[in-house]
Amino acid sequence: MPTDLIVCVATELEGSLLKPHLPILVTGVGAVNAAIALTRFLEREGARAVISCGIGGAYPGSGLSVASAVWAASECYGDLGAASSGGFLDMQALGFPVIAGTTPRYNSLPITIRPGGDIAPFVTVNTCTGDVTAAREIEARTGGWVESMEGAAIAHVATVYGIPVGEVRGISNPVGNRDRSVWRVKEAAVAAQESLLDAWRRGLLNPGVRTD
C-alpha cells in the first residue's frame, strides 16, 4: 500500500520536528537530488500526496518577514532556459516543454495542495541569488516571492506521477546582497514545520490524506 503522504526535506534540520508524526524523505540539496530521491521513493513505496518542506529566501518586493511560513501557490524553474542579448529565454520561448503531453508544462508547474493562510508564487534556482539586482530581475521575470533549490523538482515529479503536491517554506533570509548576519535558518525551519503540522492536524492537506 502506498503511504498517504510523504514529506520531502532537503536536510535533516528541515524535517526534525516532523519525524514523530509524518514520514520524511531527506532528499539532499538541489533539484537533481530532490527529483532522484522522490522518484526512487515513489517507484519503491508509492504515495498519495507529496509535500516539500524547508527554508527559502524572500524576494525584495514580497513583503514576507524572516522566520514566517508561507505555502506555495505555484512553482517555477527560475533559471531553466537560455541567456540572450535580449534577456532570459524560458523553456516556452525555446519551444521545449519540461513535461510534454496534451497540456505541456514549461517553467511553471502546478501546486495542488494549498492549505489556508499565506500562499505565494515560488521559484526554484540552481544558484541561490546573491545580489539585489539579480533578485529584482528574477522577481520581475517570474513574479516569484520565495526562492529555493528543490521545490519545482518535487512538483515536476509529482505532476508526472499524477499525485497532489504542496510546498511550505519558512523564510530564512531576504534574497539580495548576501549577508549571513540577518539569516534565521533554524527559526525558518521551525516555522515551516509547525505550519505543516498545523495543516496536517486540521485535515487541510488533501482529502485522501489521513490526519489521525
Q: Which pLDDT tens digit goes with each residue over 49-104?
A: 999 999 999 999 999 999 999 999 999 999 999 999 999 999 999 999 999 999 99
Q: Half-sphere exposure (CA, 13 Å, Cβ side) for 166?
A: 23
The 3-state DSSP composition of the chain as helix, strand, coil percent (nearest 5) reads 30, 25, 45
Which ranges constitute the DSSP H helices of the chain? 31-44, 91-94, 132-142, 151-161, 185-201
- pLDDT tops 90 at residue 208: no
- Partner residues linked to 22 by β-bridges: none
Average pLDDT for residues 156-173, to the nearest whole number?
A: 97
| Cα distance between residue 197 and residue 194, in whole Å | 5
Query: Per residue in 22-55, pLDDT tens?
Result: 999 999 999 999 999 999 999 999 999 999 999 9
Question: 6: closest CA among 35, 54, 31, 41?
Answer: 41
Grid cell listed for 57: 529566501
Q: How much is the pLDDT for 132?
A: 95
For 113-145, write each residue's pLDDT tens digit. Answer: 998 777 999 999 999 999 999 999 999 999 999
Taking domain 6-201, whether its CATH number is 3.40.50.1580 is answered by yes
Radius of gyration for the chain, computed over Cα atoms and rounded to the nearest angstrom: 16
Let me know if 196 is exposed, middle or buried by CB neighbors in 10 A (0-12, 13-18, 19+): buried
The model's pTM: 0.94
Q: Report how far apart, in Å, the C-alpha atoms of 41 and of each of 6, 96, 129, 166, 175 are.
A: 9, 27, 30, 17, 32
